[in-house]
Structure 1
């Protein structure tokens, strides 16, 4: 799995691989009204329930999803893309756990090791 963020509009993108045909797919998750969400925990829980095959507990750690959501929320509150500070660099490092982080324009890409995905998981996306 690989994750990317687009700040305008707030979007979480998940790149995943179908192990049956070795094809890569990208799921774009637009997060509407992100500025009105009170806490990142609420949004993280909603996303993990809505997309269990991509963001569920057996696929990715909650801390990583929370770190990504917090970046989007901070950007929405500030009205611009999040510039790296010592605090969010530290947060990103702990959230991605051994993942490399690469910034490119308004998109931040997070890499993570491939997770086995069954054909039925792909069909449920």
Structure 2
């Protein structure tokens, strides 16, 4: 697993497996959000298997699937709602962690400065400077 902290309450990861759930729980996470649609890639673990393992471990889990490169206003709202409602700290995952980082950046734009978003995401290994410039332009 490659967990990358964005904030103390929010981290992202590339695709996880059901077998990773005990380690995720041991790391202190209280919830898991999947931002990847099932069947996006051959061999990808199904969300239902991950959800069952997470629920069995006492973690809250939710799927807010976002097709790569297609973040709609509704998708951003669904992500924001899940982020607001789910227990923290939270781990979000997708194929590489980038989609989860982009969504976090979009929903936090305006609450955090662009500079703070870029710094937080860069510290986790993601460059959101271009996205922040787009968001700043409206």
The answer, yes or no, to whether TM exceeds 0.5 is no
- Structure with the bigger percentage of strand: 1
What is the TM-score with the length of structure 1 in the denominator? 0.28
What is the TM-score with the length of structure 2 in the denominator? 0.27
